[in-house]
Amino acid sequence: MVQLNPIPAKTWDPEKIGEWLKKPIVDHSETKIEENSITYPQLLGQITGMTLDADEYFASIYDVIEASEGRLIRLSDKMNKHIEQDRLRTLQDLFEMNKKEKGLSPNRMTAFLDGKGLLPKLKDADLNRRLRLVLIDILKAFQAQSGGDTTHSSFRRVTTDLVKWMFNHIEPEIEKLELEKGLPGFLWYGSVTESENWFLKLATDFGFHVIVYDPKGERWFEKAVGSEGLHSHSFQVNADSLLPFPEEKPKRVGTVAYRATQEVDRLLHHDDSGLYKPFQFKSYLTQSVRLKTTMDEAFMLAKERAMVRPSFSVGSGRVNIPVVFSKVMGIEKDRKRFWDNVHNLTEREDTKLIRSFPFIEERKGNQQFHYRAALGKNGKLDPEKMKTAHWWKYNKLPDGVQTAIAAAIARHVEKPILQTQGSESFEELQLYAFSQSMSLPDSVIQLIQLFDYPQFVPTMLFYNEEKDGELSRADANAIALIHVFGLDVIVINPQGHQDIERWIDVESFDTHWLDERSFNEPYREPSVVKKIFKKWL
């Protein structure tokens, strides 16, 4: 029989964790053995952030694991949720009893778990008792955090997971425990679920060493176990998104020049620097911020870079892009001024002029099955599910662009600026917005691909003469999605008629009334002389 008495390790070296764990526990100066009791240093560490070179970062974690010679076990992405069917049935019966009793106390819950064979029976009586006392403390902490209620679904889920993992991860390590070596360590990379968080706290309280690599800098482990006795080390930057942990040690190593370049980029080209590399934010999401403008401002701002517009910002993996969304009713009396404004936009490579309507074909068929399949647990569209679906039409694009489009579609569907038609329900409107957003024209996709978010914002310019057709609802949906993504949109109707107003909430865009209405104002191409002159400027 042995009683464990873990005490915080006094010192640590983040690069020597493996060697520290490999060293027999009896060889550490803090270790004391008295009859059936062993006092030993417990290593709890969190490494926040990551190096600029991801391969170097993951290779260093593999170095630590290899140096431990099996004494550091990675649990992240490897939690075994298997449970025997008879145990699961017994556990379900216990939760029914818990519900009828309106919540068993942590002591009674642990006693029932033990009595019904739902806890590991360890060979060592003291360790067996310790596991049960630790579980009681964990359930008490969970109960306190939940306002005293132990009948809700999260208590059931967490307790079930703890039972599974005590059998699958705690018991095997304790049964092969060699006292002179001590308990092994668990390594965790990334974020955690609620159940995983409580399990790592249980492992910590029992006496296991726990090392957490937290690249996003969330410090969740510190919140779970407290800062006392917890060693911390921070790298230069916190990751905006979690990279998957490689199943093999990276073989690429950055050169001195490469690492120097990464460091320069970190110092000069960070989110708030205003000094950006080409397509630096290609993996970021976009968020449009509509600017309320006069007509003159609309044409002027459409020629300005996003980063000099009011309210431009970058942070947390997202670029907030100030955009123009304007409807022009009629035409100016000063035709030269009017057409100069228009031509100053259309002569740019990143402006797409649309003169024929409808410009997009309306999709037919019921897309409800695809829509339901793309919903996440929160009931909202999940961009990652959309990207991996067989019906996703944008899979040839770079991954970051795909994610940005999918996230824009999700926002567009969640809060559509389209208006319901007739007796259409809000849910039917959402389904319509989803269905029609799956096939943007190639010309629009090309503009999105050319878009370097802090730089010049592509413009969709619609000149609706009403000669060959009407602006359709599918057109309006595409316009709304283009706006949500972060492109400028200007719609001109020289006759002063409503077109997008029939489909889109008028509060979503600015309306500018000009001097005259013209019922015969074909689009005027810029003169050849002007084109040649501008070419040589």
> What is the per-residue pLDDT across 380-408, written as a single tens digit (0 to 9) for each?
999 999 999 999 999 999 989 999 999 99
Q: How far apart are CA 124 and CA 256, in angstroms?
A: 53
pLDDT at 274: 72
**Percent of the chain at pLDDT exceeding 90:** 75
pLDDT at 373: 92
Q: Is residue 251 included in any domain, yes or no?
A: no
Q: Is residue 416 included in any domain, yes or no?
A: yes
Count how many domains the chain has.
1
Q: Which residue has the tokens 């259409």?
A: 424
pLDDT at 227: 86
**Is residue 535 predicted with pLDDT exceeding 60?**
no
Q: Is residue 313 included in any domain, yes or no?
A: yes
pLDDT tier at 261 (50, 70, 90 boundaries)?
A: low
Q: Which domain holds residue 523?
A: 281-537
In our burial notation (b when 16+ CB lie closer than 10 A, e otherwise), range 197-231 reads bbbbbbbbbbbbbbbbbbbbebbbbbebbeeebbb
Among residues 232, 223, 217, 210, the alpha carbon closest in space to that of 76 is found at: 210
Displacement of CA 124 from its chain's centroid (Å): 45
Q: Is residue 171 included in any domain, yes or no?
A: no
pLDDT at 277: 84
DSSP strand E in 57-177: where?
72-74
Average pLDDT over residues 137-163: 87
Average pLDDT over residues 160-176: 95
Contacts of 464-469 with CB under 8 Å at 24 or more apart are 464/355, 464/357, 464/491, 464/492, 464/493, 464/494, 464/497, 464/499, 465/355, 465/494, 465/495, 465/521, 465/522, 465/523, 466/493, 466/495, 466/497, 466/499, 467/522, 468/356, 468/357, 469/356, 469/357, 469/358
Q: How far apart are CA 523 and CA 6, in angstroms?
A: 81
pLDDT tier at 253 (50, 70, 90 boundaries)?
A: low
**Is residue 199 predicted with pLDDT exceeding 80?**
yes
Q: Is residue 175 included in any domain, yes or no?
A: no
pLDDT at 149: 73
Q: Is residue 173 included in any domain, yes or no?
A: no
**Is residue 53 predicted with pLDDT exceeding 90?**
no
Average pLDDT for the chain: 91
The reported pTM is 0.61
Q: Is residue 291 included in any domain, yes or no?
A: yes
pLDDT at 307: 95
pLDDT tier at 224 (50, 70, 90 boundaries)?
A: very high
In our burial notation (b when 16+ CB lie closer than 10 A, e otherwise), range 337-349 reads ebbebbbbbbeee
pLDDT at 492: 97
**Is residue 78 predicted with pLDDT exceeding 90?**
yes
Distances (CA, A) of 336 to 355, 406, 438, 512: 20, 41, 39, 18
**Is residue 107 predicted with pLDDT exceeding 90?**
yes
Q: Is residue 174 included in any domain, yes or no?
A: no
Tell me which H or E stretch contains 33.
Answer: strand 32-34
Joined together, the tokens standing for residue 84 give 């025997």
- 503, 327 in Cβ contact below 8 A? no
pLDDT at 526: 84
Q: Max Cα separation, the chain?
A: 102
